[in-house]
Amino acid sequence: MTPKKKRDISNDLVFLPLGGTGEIGMNCYCYGVGPNDDRQWLMVDLGVKFGEETDPGIDVILPDVGFMASDKGNLHGIVLTHAHEDHLGAVAWLWPQLECPVYCTPFAAQILALKLKEAGLDEQVPVKVIEAGSKFTAGPFACEFVSVTHSIPEPTALLIKTKQGTVLHSGDWKIDRSPVLGQGMDEKRLRAIGGEGVDVLVCDSTNVLREGHSPSEADVSDTLMQIVTHATGRVAVTTFASHVDRIAAAIRAARANGREVVIAGRAMRNTIEAARACGMLKDSGRLLDEEEFGYLPPDKVMLLCTGSQGEPRAAIARIAEDQHPHVSLDPGDLVIFSSKTIPGNEKEVSRVLNNLARLDIDVITSDEALVHSSGHPRQGELQQLYDWLKPRALIPMHGEPRHLRAHALFARSHGIADVLIPRDGFIARLAPGPLAMIDEAPFGRLHVDGKLIVPSDDGPAKQRRKLSFVGIVFVTVVVNSRQDLAADIELLTDGLPMGLEDDLLEAAEHAFGSTPKPRRKDAAGLAETLRTAVRRAADSIWGKKPIVKVQVVML
């Protein structure tokens, strides 16, 4: 009997997520072809995730791309599907590790240029501007930007063709047949791609738990028009700074009702300037700066501002606290939250809403009216995309574990039998043959701490987290040549209940006095003895063990 020949897997098409699977944000997906020891790579998206309460002092979280950086000679480019922060925001931080071309549409290039300039990289990064609907090549990867609809200008799906197989990477998308701006979903091209054959669809899972179809931006625009038409006082609209369709709809409602438009928030102003540079918002007229807000009659002004997610430094949060230097609202004025609260931001948004209520300001959210539509596909839209593309297999991405699992079940129930739920750091074979996990790669998270990139696991956030629970004690001991105290022991505390200092100082003095003189010559050993004594005393009295830092000075 002739032994069965083992299949050669050296030239598989593989998929490696370094972020974006099992979480919302920090999207970073890598596609590879070739032998294991000389694989050629293409990175799709390089985004951030925003810090949480559990990461004190950390505003931004990045994917750890060390694995790709170690093989950057085989990395043929970073392709950005659109300009949202969770898909583009890490480029300026991490490009120096990767040093490869960046491919993106004109609007994404405008947004990226601002970030690269801030980072001092505007003359270094080779940005290749590709129009939506166009084809381009990066190494062994033949690519095409396919227009889709989402909550930002020029969103694209990415078609990737290799000798080993074809992938359609959906990016973020929904089916909106009447967007406020842009050319809309390229259904004709997607149907054609399906006719040509798609091995794997790697697809957005964020909204898979909802049935039906997402409302159109045109429906949201109509609602905003109705609300603004009936408003009698000032109107403020807070939305995502990048949502140019929503900004256009709000401006249109303001102009139709004789209102001037004031912009508050640097991110929103930057987005508007980028959109205008790409030929959008041509008929929006003059947009005023926040300094002009107070000079306008209440019924003649609309404020467009940032802060829909409760960001403490954003415009609407400061307005709600009555702390904004140029903008204030009066009882009876109206704030429209034209957004959906991202999971994890509930407390921050609730704080802003309650502060507005204390000022007796009216608020409309997406719970009360159709003032927001998600940019991600519901089940009906997913099924429509399946029908157009007819993929052999599916990998759900961009979602928490419950979203990925639900998407996998939904796809199987609609005729896609070969489905694989990915995990960050795991290499999956896409083609040829069935989907399978075949290898692992190093992955992780990095924290942006001020201007520095630091580790997440053993970085400063870990120590700050502990400080927030137990506080810190500083002990200073000066020992003379006879191994006696040259001065009184000094003890300082921060974050501890009042009244503990005397007891802790007494514990330190007792520990020093109980230590034989020969052992006092060992500064490190003496420091550890005092540290242990102070922690035990705190635990005995308070029930918590603070961080204790002991400095021993030998004269």
Q: Residue 460 falls within a domain, yes or no?
A: no
Report the DSSP beta bridge partners of residue 146.
Answer: 157
Give yes or no for a contact between 52 and 71, defined as CB atoms under 8 angstroms apart.
no
Same domain, 487 and 341: no
Residue 465 host element (H or E):
helix 460-470
Which residue type, as a one-letter code, is found at position 514? S
Same domain, 233 and 148: no
Predicted pLDDT of residue 8: 47
Residue 67: C-alpha distances to residues 18, 42, 63, 397, 523 (Å): 9, 13, 11, 20, 42
Nearest one of 534, 231, 195 to 390, comparing CA atoms? 195
Q: Name the token pair of 154.
A: 């020029």
C-alpha torsion sign, points 246, 336, 307, 64: negative
Q: Residue 2 falls within a domain, yes or no?
A: no
Give yes or no for a contact between 76 and 36, defined as CB atoms under 8 angstroms apart.
no
Same domain, 550 and 442: no
Give the residue from 308, 332, 364 where a domain finishes. 364
Q: 452: alpha, beta or left, given left = phi > 0 and alpha = psi -120 to 50?
A: beta
Q: Name the token pair of 312.
A: 């403490």
Predicted pLDDT of residue 457: 81
Same domain, 284 and 155: no
Q: Residue 36 falls within a domain, yes or no?
A: yes
Same domain, 423 and 280: no
Give the residue from 322, 339, 364 where a domain finishes. 364
Q: Residue 4 falls within a domain, yes or no?
A: no
Same domain, 409 and 301: no
Helical residues (DSSP H) of 487-522, grouped into ranges: 501-514, 517-520
What angle (nearest 5°) sits at the alpha carbon of residue 543, between those of residues 542 and 549?
Answer: 75
Q: What is the domain-level CATH number for residue 357?
A: 3.40.50.10710
Determine the Cα–Cα distance for residues 435 and 391; give it in Å rounded to an integer.
13
Q: Residue 3 falls within a domain, yes or no?
A: no
Q: Residue 461 falls within a domain, yes or no?
A: no
Same domain, 32 and 179: yes
Predicted pLDDT of residue 192: 98
Predicted confidence pLDDT, tens digits, the chain (555 residues):
444 444 444 689 999 999 999 988 899 999 999 988 889 999 999 999 987 777 888 889 999 999 999 999 999 999 999 999 999 999 999 999 999 999 999 999 999 999 999 999 989 999 999 999 999 999 999 999 999 999 999 999 999 999 999 999 999 999 999 888 877 899 999 999 999 999 999 999 999 999 999 999 999 999 999 999 999 999 999 999 999 999 999 999 999 999 999 999 889 999 999 999 999 998 899 999 999 999 999 999 999 999 998 888 899 999 999 999 999 999 999 999 999 887 778 899 999 999 999 999 999 999 999 999 999 999 999 999 999 999 999 999 999 999 999 999 999 999 999 999 999 999 999 999 999 999 999 999 999 888 888 888 878 888 888 888 999 999 999 999 999 999 999 999 999 999 899 999 999 999 999 999 999 999 999 999 999 999 999 999 999 999 999 999 999
Same domain, 83 and 197: yes
- Give the orientation angle of helix 244-256 with respect to helix 266-277, to 10 degrees: 90
What are the b/e assignments for 200-230, b being 16+ CB within 10 Å? bbbbbbbbbeeeebbbbbbebbebbbebbee
Same domain, 345 and 229: yes
Q: Name the token pair of 253.
A: 């409602």
Same domain, 47 and 157: yes
Determine the Cα–Cα distance for residues 59 and 38; give it in Å rounded to an integer.
36
Number of domains in the chain: 3
Q: Residue 38 falls within a domain, yes or no?
A: yes
Q: Indicate the pairing of strand 13-19 with strand 28-33.
A: antiparallel
Give the residue from 423, 455, 487 where a domain finishes. 455
Same domain, 122 and 197: yes
Same domain, 259 and 351: yes
Predicted pLDDT of residue 10: 60
Question: Where do the DSSP E strands lie in 340-451?
Answer: 362-364, 393-397, 418-419, 426-431, 436-440, 445-449
- Give the orientation angle of helix 217-230 with respect to helix 244-256, to 10 degrees: 30
Q: Rounded to 5 degrees, what are φ and ψ at 269?
A: -60, -40
Helical residues (DSSP H) of 124-186, grouped into ranges: none
Q: Name the token pair of 183.
A: 């050319």
Q: Indicate the pairing of strand 426-431 with strand 13-19.
A: antiparallel
What's the length of the chain?
555
Determine the Cα–Cα distance for residues 149 and 66; give it in Å rounded to an integer.
33
First-to-last alpha carbon distance for the chain, in angstroms, is: 85
Predicted pLDDT of residue 1: 42
Q: Name the token pair of 468.
A: 């927030």
Other C-beta atoms closer than 10 Å to the C-beta of 256 total: 11
Q: What is the domain-level CATH number for residue 401?
A: 3.60.15.10
DSSP assignment letter at 76? E
DSSP assignment letter at 366? T
| DSSP reduced 3-state for 474 | strand
Q: What is the domain-level CATH number for residue 528?
A: 3.10.20.580
User: Rounded to two decimals, what is the model's pTM?
Assistant: 0.89
Which structural domain range is residue 195 located in? 13-212+374-455
Give yes or no for a contact between 167 and 61, defined as CB atoms under 8 angstroms apart.
no
Q: Residue 466 falls within a domain, yes or no?
A: no
DSSP assignment letter at 241? T
